[in-house]
Structure 1
């Protein structure tokens, strides 16, 4: 009887520890959410540390190649709309489709992979890749120029296909020049 009580309380303690750890992790992510530039600066620093380690130790090219392919996959998901007009079975439905004519109402571009999840995935994967460089098991000897040429070819083919898709369905995944509307009673000179 007593063994069951101690095992239950120990199991609850472990579960409580992981719940608390998960809450702390989520709280930290929530605090980082509004700081877009700082988040990306940190991600770039981690990527540069990873590349510096690869360059200095002249190894782990397979890890670097796999990480590059994963980052390319994330980038493509970041550039594509959430509802792809090419594969939308409800094309005639009144759902949130991209505008196809210039006189249609402006609808914001909704990404398949939101910016925060894009940043989080890149940061996590780069940290995992950096950790992999500390183990010789992942340092598989390969002729790295072949990997570089294959990655460049894959990048060019993928981006060409993505740009053709963007041109065909007339969408731009960046909102730099999105329309800005005036407030009532505000003159055009005061808007930026």
Structure 2
């Protein structure tokens, strides 16, 4: 009996070591990609194109694509939503600043950009792997699914945009805001005294 346990542990030890080393290497490269959002999103775009081409050429797995679209829509809503919902905050008595004298609070997303990117990339990879199993190729009339997804997207985005307008927040940072500058002469404009 002890020999069987020893054999199983001797087989599992290298597997556990490999899993740990792979996890460390994966986390290392994930950490290195954090300050490179353009490169990350280009990589995700490449994965998405490969997935779309695979689905297009094998003419199947439309239900997987529909599920992927719903999941991405859900991620997008989290990415565009504030961490603390102003509707719930207004019920508690606290609200967003309405006057200049109120405290400034920056927009904090419910789903940060890095987590949004990571979840979206994983979703495309999982969907791509699912296309290799015929079990997931459920026959459906894909134009109906596409129309339904477009309607769902339009209604969801309309609701999100109305929420953004009502509570006056913009989920994107478009550079550093510059508030009214005072006009002062630059160093080159000042008169030079020669004596």
The verdict on a shared fold, with TM-score over 0.5 as the criterion, is yes
After TM superposition, give the deviation of residue 8 of structure 1 in Å: 5.4
Counterpart position of 1:172? 170
Between structure 1 and structure 2, the one with the greater Rg is: 2
Cα contact 1:85–1:91 (8 A) shared by 2: no
Counterpart position of 2:76? 75
Matches of 1:163 and 1:154 in 2, distance apart?
14
Deviations 1:102-130 (A, max 9, x none): 55343221101000000000000001111
Per the alignment, in what secondary structure is the counterpart of residue 26 of structure 2?
helix
Equivalent residue in structure 2 for 1:161, among 155, 159, 162: 159
Counterpart position of 1:121? 119
After TM superposition, give the deviation of residue 15 of structure 1 in Å: 3.5
Cα contact 1:100–1:169 (8 A) shared by 2: no
Matches of 2:175 and 2:98 in 1, distance apart?
18
Counterpart position of 2:138? 140
Runs of 4+, deviation exceeding 6 Å: none
What is the aligned residue count?
A: 182
Matches of 1:26 and 1:89 in 2, distance apart?
40
Distance change (3 Å), C-alpha of 1:23 and 1:89: farther
Distance change (3 Å), C-alpha of 1:178 and 1:172: farther
Cα contact 1:77–1:111 (8 A) shared by 2: yes
Cα contact 1:82–1:112 (8 A) shared by 2: yes
Q: Structure 2: which 5+ runs fail to align?
A: 187-195
